[in-house]
Amino acid sequence: MSRRALGFGLLLLTLQLAAPACAADAAFTQFIDSLWPEAEAAGVSRATFDAQTRGLEPDYKLPDLILPGRPPTGAPAQAEFVQVPADYIKEASIARLAAEGQKLLQQYRPSLNVIESRFGVPAPIVLAIWGRETDYGRYKLPYDGLRVLATQAYVGRRKDTYRNEFILALKLLGEGAVSRKDMTASWAGATGLTQFLPSEYYKHGVDLDGDGRTDIWHSVPDALASAAKQLLDKGWQSGVRWAYEVKAPANVDCTQGVPEVTKPIREWLREGFVPVRGEKLSAAEQAQPASLLQPEGIYGPAFLTTQNYFVIKEYNFSDLYVLFVGHLADRMTSPLPFATPWSASTQLRTADVEAMQRGLTRIGLYKDKIDGKAGMQTRAALGTYQKSAGLKVDCWPSETVLRAINAAR
């Protein structure tokens, strides 16, 4: 690092640590001003840069920030990672959104036909994403998108990522793709009816309604087509279902429930997994590679997930999000809920799951992120520990298992 860069970094840190808010904001303003060369290189005009950054202030109340002198804020309010399935995938919500989705299938049928033909993504899938992201446009995103991106670029956990997103947001505003007033966002900076980051807009945006501009904020055809294009670009396979609900055999090894354990559906069927409603799968379906998903360990529903499951997961990295979207899409064409009800499981606090992950890492069973999220890798590592410790193998984080891991120091 050059002396000049080192000196600038020390100045920023000194100002951030200073008590008065005005000092911290002065450092923020200096940081924003330092981005002008990158913005200019991306095609942002000086007039746009000045107009959009004038008076811009950070929002230190956002989650997932690292603020000097304060504990990391984390993201405890993100429902996908702190709720048990029964709370997140509520039948009342699914039924309401599915009923409205059925009407929207008819209302936007011409556009949806084009989307299905052009991108190979079923209409119910893109409608379900719209329903989950913004309640079909009724949910108004609460934050100033530019302010969110600027704050995350300044003191977020992924500064480099958000630095680029902030500059691309300036480009969006300069090009007139959206007004500052309409570029509202989530706390993570996603914007529009189907919640895109600015980089996703430029990679996957589609002008389906043919008016000469890609408008994911007001044009439903554009927003849905853009969502479909994103799924296709991430590997969506036409004609393949997202998942199959199955009944697992009594002796199921729940540690197999990771993406790395993938085999043709026919092999899972030979091992005793049975489609829940006795449906007969075609030879082509049985040849599809699939992974086992047991969101509540051995409790609750089980699924054989295809490549398309993981494509939806690229849209939002949460199993519960994918289950919500996939199930909502299915319910638009079938009234049937999951055949197996969710269990009455309870979810450990994020801090407890983090402690469990650290313990599993310490004994060499877990190699993923310490993030407090009981995802596939955490559940599988937990099941492996339960095997080695002679405990009941259910692949579900509980206080009992946490105590056992802590005692194994």
Mean pLDDT of 226-246: 98
Distance CA 358, CA 333 (A): 43
Whether residue 278 has pLDDT greater than 80: yes
Return the pLDDT at 66: 86
The model's confidence at residue 72, banded by pLDDT at 50, 70 and 90, is low
The structural domains of the chain, with segments of one domain joined by +, span 10-73+142-185, 243-305, 350-407
Handedness of CA 369, 374, 376, 381 (dihedral sign): positive
Q: Which residues contact 73 (CB under 8 A, 6 or more apart)?
A: 62, 63, 64, 65, 66, 67
Taking alpha carbons only, the member of 213, 231, 206, 260 closest to residue 380 is 260
- State whether CATH 1.10.101.10 applies to domain 350-407: yes
pLDDT of 345 reads 72
pLDDT for residue 80 is more than 50:
no
Over the stretch 184-234, which tens digit does the pLDDT of each residue have?
999 999 999 999 999 999 999 999 999 999 999 999 999 999 999 999 999
The mean of the pLDDT values for the chain is 91
pLDDT digits (tens, 9 = 90+) for 364-374: 999 998 988 88
The percent of the chain in helix, strand and coil, each rounded to the nearest 5, is: 50, 10, 40
Residue burial 62-96, b: 16+ Cβ < 10 Å; e: rest: bebbeeeeeeebbbeebebbbebbeebbeeeebee
pLDDT the model gives residue 82: 56
Average pLDDT over residues 142-158: 96
Confidence of residue 24 (pLDDT cuts 50, 70, 90): low
Residue 100 confidence (pLDDT) above 90: yes
Q: What is the pLDDT of residue 4?
A: 44
Cα separation of 376 and 218, whole Å?
36
pLDDT, tens only, 334-375: 999 999 999 867 778 888 999 999 999 999 999 998 988 888
The pLDDT of residue 15 is 42
Enumerate residues 6+ apart whose C-beta is below 8 A from 2: none
164 pLDDT band (50/70/90 cuts)?
very high
Pairing of the two strands 302-305 and 262-264: unpaired
